Amino acid sequence: MLAPVGSLVLVVDDDPAVRAVVSLMVTHLGHTALVATCGAEAVALAAERNPTAALLDVRMPGMDGPATLDALRAFDPAIQCAFLTGHPGEYAEGELYGRGAVAVLAKPVTLTTLGAALDRALSPVTV
């Protein structure tokens, strides 16, 4: 099932090039990208704009990706997340999935893999 277009997707990465490319991909896939440079900025933007999904860099200065997800879920438990990583650092891939991620995507991410992750994140859950 393909995700509905027009969703608000939070893109969080401390690397400006990654933010630019991923936000363009999100837009190309028919969604609106809400861009943040760090976890704290992401949480503030999410509180104002209520995104449906988040694409979070695992390793960022200050609040890393998993901590950012925890903070986002404190006020929106339903937000869906895919992690982006060049190197997961202290986190094993299984741990990132264990935190509820729909995908763990290796950088550089492709349009196909990003689209598939957004489909999982944005598709309605069926029981």
What pLDDT is recorded for position 127? 40
What pLDDT is recorded for position 61? 94
Domain boundaries along the sequence of the chain:
8-122
Distances (CA, A) of 37 to 4, 46, 65, 126: 26, 13, 11, 33
Spell out the per-residue pLDDT of the chain, length 127, in tens.
455 678 999 999 999 999 999 999 999 999 999 999 999 999 999 999 999 999 999 999 999 999 999 999 998 999 999 999 987 668 899 999 999 999 999 999 999 999 999 999 998 654 4
Cβ-in-10-Å burial (0-12, 13-18, 19+) of 117 comes to buried
Which residue in 87, 82, 91 sits closest to 115, CA to CA?
A: 82
What is the reported pTM? 0.92
Q: Which architecture characterizes domain 8-122 according to CATH?
A: 3-Layer(aba) Sandwich (3.40)
- Cα–Cα distance for residue pair 29/118, rounded to 1 Å: 9
